[in-house]
Amino acid sequence: MVDFRRLKDADVSGKTALVRVDFNVPVTETGAVAEDTRLRAALPTIKALQEAGAKTVLLSHFGRPKGKADPSLSLEFVTEPLSKLLGNPVAFAKDCAGASAKSAIAALNSGDVLLLENTRFHAGETSGDPDFSAELASLGDLFIHDAFSAAHRAHASAHGIAAHLPAFAGLAMERELDHLSQALEKPKAPVLGVVGGAKVSTKIDLLKNLVTKLDMLAIGGGMANTFLAAQGHNVGASLCEHDLADTARQIMDNAKKANCKILLPVDVVTSVEFKAHAQSRTCGLDDVGADEMILDAGPDTVNTLADAIDHAKTLIWNGPLGAFELEPFDTGTVEAAKYAALRVKCGQLIAVAGGGDTVAALKHAGAADNFTFISTAGGAFLEWMEGKELPGVQILKAS
C-alpha cells in the first residue's frame, strides 16, 4: 500500500485546516448544481474536522477563468447546497487570499466551515507560483488534500501549499489511494486490464505501462481497430489510426516479452451508419465491408472477455468496448460490465474503474454500484495508471 500521511495522523483540534476539495461541479442552465457527487465526496472529511474541533477552510477551482476574477465562475453558488448536505451553514469569502480571506477566517469558531472563492481567479494558482502558494498557506495551520482529481497538477492549492504546511490526505483521497494501490501496486493476481475508448494516441503511455504490470490486457473500442489493422485486418470505414500501426505492434511485442496476454476482438458488430438503432450485423474480423464501421465487440469477444474475468482476481477498467452511447452498440460494454459486477458481488473479483466515459458506461450498464471502487478523477486516474508520479500525492508521502 502507498505509505502516506492520513487525516488520523493530524492534530487538528483548535487549528485552521486548509482543505483542497474539488467543487468543479456540473451546473444547470440556471446556474444551479446539476450533480452533487463531488460535494458529497467532501462531507466525510469536513465532518471529521468539525468533530475534532477544527476550523475548516475549503479551497477549490471552478471552470477556467484564466487567472482573473470572473463573476460567472464564482463558487458562491455552492454554499447553499453544501450547507444542506452538511446540515450546517457554510460561510463564503469573496477571495481565496488577502484581507477578505483573512477576515472571514478570523470570524470562524471551532467547527465552522468556510468556502473560499475560486482559486483560479489568481494567475499564481495554475502556474504553482511559490509566492501565491505561501500566501494561501499563511491562512491555515495544516493542509488536507482531499481532491485526487486535482492531484496530477502542481497547482498552488493542490501542491504548493505543502511546501509551507504539514500535508495530510483527506478521507476521500485516502480511499482513492488505497483502492488504486490495491489494484496496481500490490494486486491479487492474475490481473486483467480492460482499456477502451476512441484513440490509441490518447493512451499510448497507459498501454505501455499496463503491459508491464498486467497478466492480461483486453483492448476494445475504436482503439482496438488500430491494433486489428496493425495485424493486417481490414477495418473498413472504422475509426482507426493507421499511422500508429508500428506503435500498436511495439506494444504487442512488449506485452509478449512481459508475459502479458493481449486480448483483441475476435468478432465485431458493424454498421454503415453511426446512429442509435442503425441496422447492424455481427461478423468476423475478415468480413468487414469497405463502407462499414466497427461499433461494438461481438458476442464471441464478450465471451472471451468473460472467460478472462473468470480467471482474474483483480480487474482494472478504463474505457468502453464500443459506442455505448448508441443502442444497440452498447451491448458488449453492458454485458461485460454486468458480468464483472457479478463476480465482484460473489466475492471472486476486485474491480477498480475510472475515467470519464468509463463511469458513464458502467452506470449505463447498471454495474457501477457493484464494482469495488470507481474513480471519478479522470486525468489523475489515467496518469496514475500510466505510472506517473502525481504532485498532489507525492506531497503526502510519509518521509
Enzyme catalytic residues? 38, 199, 356, 379
Distance CA(371)–CA(196), nearest Å, equals: 17
Distance CA(277)–CA(177), nearest Å, equals: 40
Question: Measured in Å, how far apart are the chain's first and last C-alpha atoms?
Answer: 15
Q: Which three cell numbers stand for residue 90?
A: 457554510
Helix (H, G, I), strand (E, B) or coil at 243: helix
Whether 282 contacts 318, CB under 8 Å: no
The continuous run of DSSP H or E covering 383 comes out as helix 379-385
Distance CA(350)–CA(370), nearest Å, equals: 10
Question: What is the spatial order of strands in the sheet that 216-219 belongs to?
Answer: 261-263, 216-219, 191-195, 314-318, 350-354, 373-375
Q: Which of 302, 349, 90, 290 is nearest to 196 (CA)?
A: 302
DSSP string, 149-164: GGTTS--TTTTGGGGT
Q: How many CB atoms lie within 10 A of CB 151?
A: 30
Strand-pairing partners, residue 282, are 269
- For residue 246, CA distances in Å to 200, 249, 251, 254, 348 come to 12, 5, 9, 12, 37
Alpha helices in 56-113 (DSSP H): 79-86, 98-106
DSSP string, 278-312: ---EEEETT---TT-EEEEE-HHHHHHHHHHHHH-
Rounded to 5°, the CA angle 356-361-363 comes to 100
Q: How many CA atoms lie within 13 A of 119 on its CB side?
A: 32
Whether 91 contacts 115, CB under 8 Å: yes
